[in-house]
């Protein structure tokens, strides 16, 4: 069975974006970028909620043409070539950039049972909360950046259920970002 990995950047106070939706604070240094490549080698599909999809699809198709950051230059071709699934009740497919839309979280169970590598949920705290409540997250990777945002969206908002986790790994990357890896109990 394929795993769903939730990969998310957060502030020290537990927010994935700032009070006004800003995401200008996450820093992809060489160690974090190299670790990201290791994670991407484990997966063959990216998962997004609508909001993160709109952010990603507005930047990554041409990021390597407009940025000189090594992470952007290396990740943009990988992003373009990886199939993507967007969870949305408002978007209608087909979408550009190798993406398709599904509207029900329950469809993820069939995706997990299908052959292939693991599935990577990039950000998308609302979707992550729903998946956690349905027991569909198999691994949670939280990159804690040295910033306090004072508000925004929580890393894993839960409406109904408590989710107990076990810490299976923790490390510092680039001397500034702490990666915590959890699995549900």
DSSP 116-138: SSEEEEES-HHHHHHHHHTT---
Give a yes or no: residue 108 inside a domain. yes
Domain end residue (candidates: 95, 117, 139): 117
170 SS3 class: strand
Same domain, residue pair 106 and 47: yes
Whole-number Cα distances in Å, 114 to 71, 86, 120, 183: 30, 17, 15, 21
Give a yes or no: residue 167 inside a domain. yes
Q: Which of 151, 149, 171, 180 has the alpha carbon at shortest distance from 24?
A: 149
Backbone angles phi, psi at 107, to 5 degrees: -65, -20
Domain end residue (candidates: 93, 117, 141): 117
pLDDT digits (tens, 9 = 90+) for 136-156: 999 999 999 999 999 999 999
Q: What total number of domains does the chain contain? A: 2
- Position 162 pLDDT exceeds 90: no
CA geometry: angle 69, 71, 74, nearest 5 deg: 110
Residues 6+ apart with CB under 8 A from 68: none
pLDDT digits (tens, 9 = 90+) for 31-71: 999 999 999 999 999 999 999 999 999 999 999 999 999 99
Same domain, residue pair 80 and 135: no
Q: What is the pTM of this model?
A: 0.94
- Region of 66 (left: φ > 0; alpha: ψ -120 to 50; beta: rest) is alpha
Same domain, residue pair 111 and 50: yes
């Amino acid at each position: 069975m394929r795993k769903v990995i939730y990969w998310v950047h957060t502030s020290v106070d537990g927010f994935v974006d700032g009070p006004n939706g800003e995401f200008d604070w996450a820093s992809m240094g060489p160690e974090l970028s190299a670790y990201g490549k290791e994670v991407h080698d484990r997966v063959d599909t990216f998962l997004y909620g609508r909001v993160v999809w709109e952010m990603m699809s507005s930047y990554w198709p041409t990021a390597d043409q407009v940025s000189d950051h090594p992470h952007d230059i290396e990740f943009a071709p990988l992003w373009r070539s990886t199939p993507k699934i967007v969870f949305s009740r408002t978007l209608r497919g087909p979408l550009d950039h190798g993406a398709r839309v599904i509207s029900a979280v329950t469809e993820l169970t069939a995706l997990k049972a299908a052959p292939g590598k693991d599935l990577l949920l990039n950000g998308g705290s609302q979707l992550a909360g729903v998946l956690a409540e349905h027991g569909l997250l198999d691994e949670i990777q939280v990159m804690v950046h040295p910033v306090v945002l004072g508000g925004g969206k929580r890393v894993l908002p839960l409406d109904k259920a408590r989710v107990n986790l076990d810490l299976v790994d923790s490390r510092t990357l680039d001397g500034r970002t702490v990666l915590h890896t959890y699995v549900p109990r």
